[in-house]
Amino acid sequence: MADSTFDVVSKVDKMEADNAVNQARKEIDQRYDFRGVGASVEFSGEKILLKANSEERVKAVLDVLQSKFVKRGISLKSLDAGEPYASGKEYRLEVALKQGIDQEHAKKIGKLIRDEAPKSVRSQIQGDELRVSSKSRDDLQATIALLKGADLDVDLQFVNFR
């Protein structure tokens, strides 16, 4: 019998992210406390640019954006918000979307699987994802439960379960 496998990936659905940004933009346009402060949200592929006339206002815009991401089912672990910085008369904040599992986190997940998963489970790093294999599907499901319960800094999805 062949090995069963699944892939551990970290991806953000672009359409859901775009919808969350559009909802945040609509809320910011309508809310009274954002009138006259130059608050805006712009999405360009990988980065989201937040603007406002004060540091507190740009952080409030970030809070609105984060709430929309949660409502759309996107984990906040996939957002990488920087610090607000002054740019002329306005403050800006760049938020990047994390795509893929970087090498450091992949090694940490691989070590966790080696140490705590059932012994028949093996993992290997393939680019920005991890392939996990075993003869037993039950062991793979136990590994998925282990990774879901682990406190990692990456939003994980489990795909291609075969």
Residues 88 and 27 in one domain: yes
Q: How many CB atoms lie within 10 A of CB 42?
A: 12
The CATH number assigned to the domain holding 112 equals 3.30.70.860
Spell out, as residue ranges, where the chain has pLDDT lower than 70: 1-2
Token representation of residue 59: 């952080």
What span, in angstroms and rounded, lies between the C-alpha atoms of 108 and 12?
A: 21
Q: What is the DSSP letter of 150?
A: S
Full DSSP string of 31-79: -GGGTTTT-EEEEETTEEEEEESSHHHHHHHHHHHHHHHHHTT--GGGE
For residue 65, the model assigns a pLDDT of 93
Residues 29 and 92 in one domain: yes
- Give the per-residue pLDDT at 148: 87
Q: What is the CATH number of the domain that holds 43?
A: 3.30.70.990
pLDDT in tens, 78-104: 888 888 888 888 899 999 988 888 888
What is the extent of the structural domain holding 119?
Answer: 4-11+101-159
19 and 91: one domain? yes
